[in-house]
Amino acid sequence: MSPLSDSAKEMLAKANPAVIATVRSDGQPVSAATWYLLRDDQILVNMDRARVRLKHMEKDPRVSLTVIDDGDWYTHVTLIGHVVRMYDDEGLADIDALSRHYTGQEYPQRDRPRVSALIAVDRVHGWGSQKNNDQPDGRQ
Domain segments of the chain as ranges = 6-128
pLDDT for 52: 92
CB 21 within 8 A of CB 63: yes
Q: Per-residue confidence at 140, pLDDT binned at 50, 70, 90?
A: very low
Q: What percent of the chain stands above pLDDT 70? A: 93
pLDDT tens per residue, range 77-110: 999 999 999 999 999 999 999 999 999 999 999 9
Q: Per-residue confidence at 1, pLDDT binned at 50, 70, 90?
A: confident
pLDDT for 135: 64
d(C-alpha 120, C-alpha 97), whole Å: 19
CB 60 within 8 A of CB 23: yes
Q: With a cut of 80, say whether residue 49 has pLDDT above it.
A: yes
Residue 26: Cβ-neighbour burial (10 angstroms; 0-12, 13-18, 19+) = exposed
Q: Which residue has the higher pLDDT, 36 or 139?
A: 36
CB 89 within 8 A of CB 115: yes
- Torsion angle of alpha carbons 102, 104, 107, 108, nearest 10°? -120
Per CATH, the architecture of 6-128 is what? Roll (2.30)
Helices (H), the chain: 6-12, 52-59, 93-103
Helix (H, G, I), strand (E, B) or coil at 33: strand
pLDDT for 128: 77
